[in-house]
Amino acid sequence: MASVNLLPIAAIDDIDFSAVFGRDVAELYTEAAKFQHSLPEFSLLRMRQVVEALCMALAEHVELALPDNPNLYQLIVDLKDSGKFKKAIADDLHFVRIEANKYVHKESQKSARKENKATNTSAALHEATQQCRDALCRILVDFARAIKGEVYASVLQQRQFSTLTHQDLIAIATTSLKPKDKFLAGVATDALTQEFLNSVPNLVATEQQKFHYWSLLRLSATWYLAAIELDAELDQIAFSHHADPNQSEKLIFSRSKPEYLFRFADVVVHGDIGDDWRAKGMLALQAAVAKGDAASKALLGGLLYFEEKFDLALKLLLEADAAGELRALKVLFWYYAEGKACQPDLVKARQYLDRGVERGFIPAIALLGRSLYEGEYLEKDEDKGREYLELAVQSGDRNSALVLEKDNLVSFMQQQFQVHSAALVAELKRATKVHKKGKNPYSEVKTITKKPKVGVNEPCPCGSGKKYKKCHGNAAKAAKTLTQKFGL
């Protein structure tokens, strides 16, 4: 991006202003603003990355000592404690971090949410994205003053972009050779997948719905893989280095961006769309881990834990946690709570969930709520557990809603059983009481009156004045004849 010459004026364009911090920050911020309405979760991810980049730049500017893999939460705290910005800016930084964490680190919701719940969640997501952009504008102004030592603007005018639909992004990627366009098509397909899950009204999906879901996962994986392959730029290396298909695949993954690799792996290792896809996903995940990607370390650590490869799992999870990757917290909770990898340490396990709750990590809030509500791993506390579950539900976590709905359903069934049981007992008591008096309350004697036989020459009982054989007797004879002849 070309450099801009900014003058100290009252208000300037926020996209132009972001160039003060260099090309990388400007690109991240521009993508956050450009896809704010069409891909809000992706926009929040970019906003969080802008905050990380700004905090690292300020820490470097003031020569603040940092660990090798500083996490964003601690970085904000350390900068605030050292007096590098005021509390209001610290609050803005934490707000962007927390709101992004709610969506950026959330797990795939494979069970459907009710349509009205999905609508409310979508509105809340768009509102949170706009609030984060407002906060980020204030942060940009303050950090420019702190890093550059000049007041460029007091207010940033937010540039508005034409909204691209998910279908638009997919259509663009169809003819584009740019890896970023392929990647954005994958993000758009992920959003369409979630919209589909939100639209499914039943907890048990039909076969047709399952096939559609899997087709969306395969499409998403295809876009991400295309982004990886294009990003590898194999044309720039000698053909002999990638003539072998097996070596070529490893080479592609080793040359691509960790973000692309992680997104691809996250879809295919959980999506149940085939062993071939999963094998590719594991290669991509290992390549991203080799590049030091914290999210990939958390994902691989979780997979290894459930494969009972505990030592390597713990190493990766601790590294991911140290880098501020919240996905690691749930698995670390299980590591110390389940007793499979080590002796249970519920105090330590609870600390991981508490940290997740403090940082607005919805899966940690949901897991803590369920553990307290059901008394699984932690001491049972239904009231506190319900508070956490309801907080998770408000953020769109369907699994937490199912925990509460299941409990309500069981309670309803128990009430119905008690009502019907009471009625049955009352009926049995009445039957026993009547039986003692020599009566059977379930046997009613019915008197069957046999009709007298009418002679063929006697008057017909219908009162017509005709003989029976000329009246109803004739009809009866005809019916008998038809029955014998035709089997009617």
- Whether residue 104 is predicted with pLDDT greater than 60 in this model: the reply is yes
Q: What is the pLDDT of residues 280-339, one digit of tens each?
A: 999 999 999 999 999 999 999 999 999 999 999 999 999 999 888 889 999 999 999 998
Q: The whole model's pTM is what?
A: 0.73
- The mean-pLDDT minimum among 98-112, 303-317, 385-399, 473-487 falls in 473-487
Percentage of residues in the chain having pLDDT higher than 70: 75
Mean per-residue pLDDT for 191-202?
Answer: 80
Cα dihedral 463/467/471/476 (nearest 10): 110
pLDDT band for position 445 (50/70/90)?
very low
pLDDT band for position 243 (50/70/90)?
low
Strand bridging mode 155-157 / 11-13: parallel
- The mean-pLDDT minimum among 94-103, 130-139, 220-229 falls in 94-103
Q: What is the overall mean pLDDT for the chain?
A: 81
The residue ranges of every structural domain in the chain are: 7-163, 165-291
Mean per-residue pLDDT for 103-121?
Answer: 46
- The mean-pLDDT minimum among 32-41, 73-82, 167-176, 418-427 falls in 418-427
pLDDT score recorded for residue 190: 93
Q: What is the pLDDT of residues 23-72, one digit of tens each?
A: 999 999 999 999 999 999 999 999 999 999 999 999 998 888 877 777 88
